[in-house]
Chains A and B, each alone.
Chain A
Amino acid sequence: MVDRMATPASSVLECRSLGFSYDGAAGTADVLRGVDLVLVPGERVAIVGESGSGKSTLLHLAAGLETPSAGQVRLKGVDLGTLSEGERTRLRRNQIGIVFQAFHLVPTLTALENVALPLDLMGRERGRALQSRARAALAEVGLTDKADRYPEQLSGGEQQRVAIARALVHRPALILADEPTGNLDSVTGESVFRLLLEQVEATGSALLMVTHSDALAARLDRTARMVDGRLLKADVPAAADPA
């Protein structure tokens, strides 16, 4: 299934002429227009741009959480547009980890259970093996002692670290992070960001991260700027540019 319609699988994520619009009372509002973007394995890309320019929308499209109104998204060569909702969900849970600005941990699950959740949903491992893998992932982000706490009993920084562990525990090919430090103070933000980079490095995942901070963006491989729904490229390594 994953290999259906595969193109040369050198890219993790490939967006082609991506468009997205909302139907509102005042006609349709174009949020994204002709966005092209390619990520190769292990590549770390920052997206910067004004508030409301469409950065989160791009991430949601990449994750298959929304359907584009134009163009296509390919995840490891598979065109998301050709998949059913269920197949898209399966592809997402196997290949993608998401880190949100607002952490979005499941409030009824403990830190450890939140981390174990993707493995559980994938259903490949069960019981003890699953537990120990989740524990290891939690240890990676330094939260072994808080494994049994519920999200509301954790600080914002701790919650985001749990979210990072959850996004990476199943070693996805792609991490999508939407302002992962946006809700944190600068010191905590810095440590969380560093943790995220370490983890991405360790798992070899590609990273697409939205941020408001040029300083953080500069520490990734390249930066793309979103202006009014269009992606302006900057620092694009020639090898990765398809155009």
Chain B
Amino acid sequence: MILLLKAWLRDWLRHPLQRLLTILGVVIAIAVVLAVDLANQSAQRAFDRSMLEVAGAATHQILGPAEGFDERHYRDLRWAGWRDLAPIVEGPLRLETGDSVYLLGVDPLAEAPFREAAAGFGEIPVQRLLTEPGTVLVPPAWLEARNRTGEVEVTVRGVSGIYTVSAIPAPAGAAQGQIWVADIATAQELLGRLGRLDRIDARLQRPGADAELQAALPPGLELVPVGARDAAARELAQAFRINLTAMSLLALLIAVFLIYNTQTFSVLRRQQVLGSLHLLGVGRNPVLAVVLLEALLVGLIGTGFGILLGIGLAQGLVGQVARTVSDHFFVVTVTAVEPRPLALAAVFALGLGLSVLAALAPAFEASGQRSIAASGRAALERRSHRLTGHLFLIGLLMLALGMAVAGLGWGDLIGGFVALFLLITGFLLLLPRFLASGLKWVAGPVADRLDSALTRLAGRSLERSLSRSGPAVVALTLALAAAIGVSVLVGSFRVSVTEWLGVTLTSDLYLVPAESASGRGGARLPGEWVSLLSDWPEVASVSTGTTQDVVSGRGLIRLFLLEPHADWLEHLPLVAGSDPDLDQRLQDTDAVLITEGFAAHQGLTLNDRIDITVPAGSRSFAIAGIYRDYSHPGGTVLMRSDRYHGGAAPGFHSMGLRVGAETAVEALESRLADWLRDRDAAALITRPETIQRESLEIFDRTFAITHLLRVITLGVAFVAILSALVALQMERSREYAILRSTGLLPGGVSRLVFLQAGLLGLFAAVAAIPLGLGMGWILIEVINREAFGWRMDVLLPGWPLAENLLLGIGAALLASVYPAWRLARMPVVPALRVES
């Protein structure tokens, strides 16, 4: 057994690079999978925790109009005997540094049973929150991140001025919090909502209590179960995660492949050792035991380092993910990756399991061989050639199945992922066959045509070592295709978003509150501005828009209240319900437009109805049209502002101004700037170009992570190619020695290696084009449509395709630099002495 181990493991000393690559393959694969998963999970948990802290232990929430409601309603309810209630005012708070945090204003006395953050309130903070205005509890992590301890002064930009607040660390129980907490009076002041509440949390335990409470509410207030609000927000976050999940699945696929690849290599390479051992009468089990031992070792080392690297990578990724979530949904801050034991265990099992399985299969085969002939490379290649035929058939089958699933639109998101998986795998299985034919063609007609012995040699030896070149090409193809697929998705998406922005931003100037409006409520501009500004001679037309969450028959929905320019419908990208009377209908009847995303999520179509609570109470609205919109993944309902308010709006989020024919935009801009100086409400003037640019910046930030993954993926493919080339070089060293002894120059050897790498890269790059386009198509047409309800035109990217061609060949050539250099310097005689 000892000798057996020696015979098997000596390879580690003789070919350290090869072994190192084996381990590296496992390390990278595991690191990528873990990093994506960790970043995803960490951001998700931060999000969940924020939701929990905001919603607390409430079972229901009393919601009113988006502007909030008078705090007297809370007192009235308490007087009426409703005890388990907690008033809340909340919203984003801008720090002097420009960062935003989420501020929750609570009544510390009513709060205790409700909130995790509050559960840890010690006596002193409660006292201080109550008695000292301008005191806030901040997460200790926030202070730590700034190297501050104890109580500090923080300057914040409130809606109506700059405030300095005393930030005291929240008690340990709330140590993980994301949310800043203040007494309700302080929060009202900071958020500019004196005397108003955003909601009242309620804990209703008695059956039937909800109906009673609803009955006790004044008009305009609604009792909503907590789940409804939570679910809406959660769904949004989920939609974003789906794209990331697609990415991590891809990473997983590549990981599985890479581990299998490198481990199989490492065993196959020594099949002769296995064969000889078998012929010497060594039984199957001891051989398998030795292989298993080694695989475990590789798996253990590789997975261990992979996990470390993965955690490190995740630290980098998580900020990105958190930022995206914040951009789109909710202010979350993730300070650290928290690896969950379960995820680590799963990844560990994956790495170890794959390593062992990948090594065992070929070992099992080899240890059972009857003759030395069967254990040779030639036999292995014969088998691989036969295998390519089978794989081809299986691949065709999977492709057909995948197209059926995608084409028939079976099921939903799951169907999309299944189709994606089937198409990718099916296509990849076709490749070895194509590669074999392609290489035959290169070694035959092409080499004859070029009259180049090197080309012939390169093609033949690649074709003869299909068990090496095949998997390497498949890995590179997959990586490049993923890159193309993502390019197609992101590129098409970006073009669609740009076009959409261009169409929807129809004003010459926009006015927005100086404070960013997010969450419920948010800063607004006064409604009377509309009539004031409409009277200006420079202004041709004014529009306003307000986005708010309102209660509906389908839970909390996002409502966009629009007071449009006269020609607005000409610019709205309607996909259904186009009708000359549409504008009239929206003005005179209870009718709304919905976005594609909303239609998809809610399963609504034209002429369906939806109950929406407007200030005057709940009414049924007809869906008069569906339009394209990328502003919000969950979808939006568009209603005319006058329909909602039954008259002029008290306030709005943004105003669009069109200048008259004779007026220069700059003239209006400067007059507006002067005018704004004398107003109470702080507003900013923006140009549509700025909005467009900022929107696209957020867009690019959202997809930055996919570019990162793309780079990682290519790195993985690079390792795959490198390990294949090193393996080839080792196996074929005698062949190279013969060529050298026959008169091939050292430079010729290098050229041969480069030629081979270039051929592999070229093939992979070409093969990646159809696969990548297919992947992009599925990502757009199936997955994004199912997840977001977004439709977009599939765009054929010209430059990314060319770029990927270069990238593929470049990666392959780069991977061949070292093998080429080494091979050119290889001493000839030792390689010749090795018997065939």
Contacts and interface: CB of A to CB of B under 8 A. Distances in A.
B460 A109 contact: yes
B745 interface: yes
B832 A118 contact: no
A39 interface: no
B743 A106 contact: no
Tell which of A85, A105, A127 has the most Cβ of chain B within 10 Å.
A85
B746 A89 contact: yes
Nearest to B746: A85
Interface in A51-82: 56, 60, 63, 65-66
Contact of B464 (A56, A108, A126): A108
A5 interface: no
Interface majority SS on A: helix, strand, loop or mixed?
helix
B531 interface: no
Nearest to A63: B741
Nearest to A121: B743
B828 A65 contact: yes
Interface stretch (B305-313, B451-459, B786-794): B451-459
B464 A106 contact: no
Interface in B453-484: 453, 456-457, 460-461, 463-464
Interface string A224-243: 00000000000000000000
Contact of B451 (A66, A98, A126, A166): A126
A104 B738 contact: yes
Contacts of A120: 453
Nearest to B457: A108
A56 B378 CA distance: 28
Contacts of B453: 113, 116-117, 120-121
A93 B457 contact: no
A89 B740 contact: yes
Interface residues of A, number: 33
A108 B454 CA distance: 12
A86 B745 contact: yes
B739 interface: yes
Interface string B740-770: 1111111110000000000000000000000
A4 B739 CA distance: 26
B735 interface: yes
Tell which of A94, A103, A106, A108 has the most Cβ of chain B within 10 Å.
A108
A90 interface: yes
Contacts of B231: none
Contacts of B828: 65-66
Interface residues of B, number: 29
A152 interface: yes
B836 interface: yes
A143 B419 CA distance: 55
Nearest to B738: A104
Contacts of B680: none
Contact of B457 (A85, A109, A152): A109
A92 interface: yes
B832 A100 contact: yes
A63 B832 CA distance: 13
Given A63-B741, A106-B735, A166-B742, A86 B747 contact: yes
A118 B748 CA distance: 13
Contacts of B461: 108
B608 interface: no
A122 interface: yes
Interface majority SS on B: helix, strand, loop or mixed?
helix
A75 to B, nearest CB: 13
Contacts of B739: 106, 117
A65 to B, nearest CB: 5
A37 interface: no
B829 A93 contact: no
A127 B451 contact: yes
A92 B457 CA distance: 21
Contacts of B747: 86
Contacts of A100: 832
A106 B247 CA distance: 44
B741 A92 contact: yes
B570 interface: no
A195 to B, nearest CB: 20
A107 B378 CA distance: 10
Nearest to B830: A66
Interface in B788-836: 827-829, 832-833, 835-836
Interface in A130-152: 152
Interface string A192-233: 000000000000000000000000000000000000000000
Given A93-B742, A118-B743, A166-B742, A102 B456 contact: no
Nearest to B377: A107
A102 B743 contact: no
B745 A102 contact: no
Contacts of B457: 106, 108-109
Interface string B389-410: 0000000000000000000000
Contacts of A103: 836
B742 A118 contact: yes
B743 A122 contact: yes
A42 to B, nearest CB: 22
Contacts of B741: 63, 65, 92, 98, 104
A29 to B, nearest CB: 15
A118 B735 CA distance: 14
Given A66-B829, A108-B461, A152-B378, A113 B743 contact: no
Contact of A89 (B451, B463, B735, B743): B743
Contacts of B456: 109, 113
B460 A108 contact: yes
B635 to A, nearest CB: 60
A104 B832 contact: yes
Given A66-B829, A127-B451, A107 B742 contact: no
Contacts of B745: 86, 89-90
Nearest to A152: B378
A108 B622 CA distance: 74
Nearest to B448: A127
A106 B740 CA distance: 11
B247 to A, nearest CB: 40
A120 B447 CA distance: 12
Contacts of A121: 453, 742-744, 748
B829 A102 contact: no
5 contacts: A89-B743, A90-B743, A104-B738, A107-B378, A108-B735
3 A-B pairs with least C-beta separation: A93-B743, A108-B460, A120-B453
Interface of A: 56, 60, 63, 65-66, 85-86, 89-90, 92-94, 98, 100, 102-109, 113, 116-118, 120-122, 126-127, 152, 166
Given A104-B734, A118-B742, 17 more contacts: A65-B829, A66-B828, A86-B747, A90-B743, A93-B742, A98-B741, A105-B738, A106-B739, A106-B742, A107-B378, A108-B460, A109-B457, A109-B460, A116-B453, A117-B739, A117-B742, A121-B743
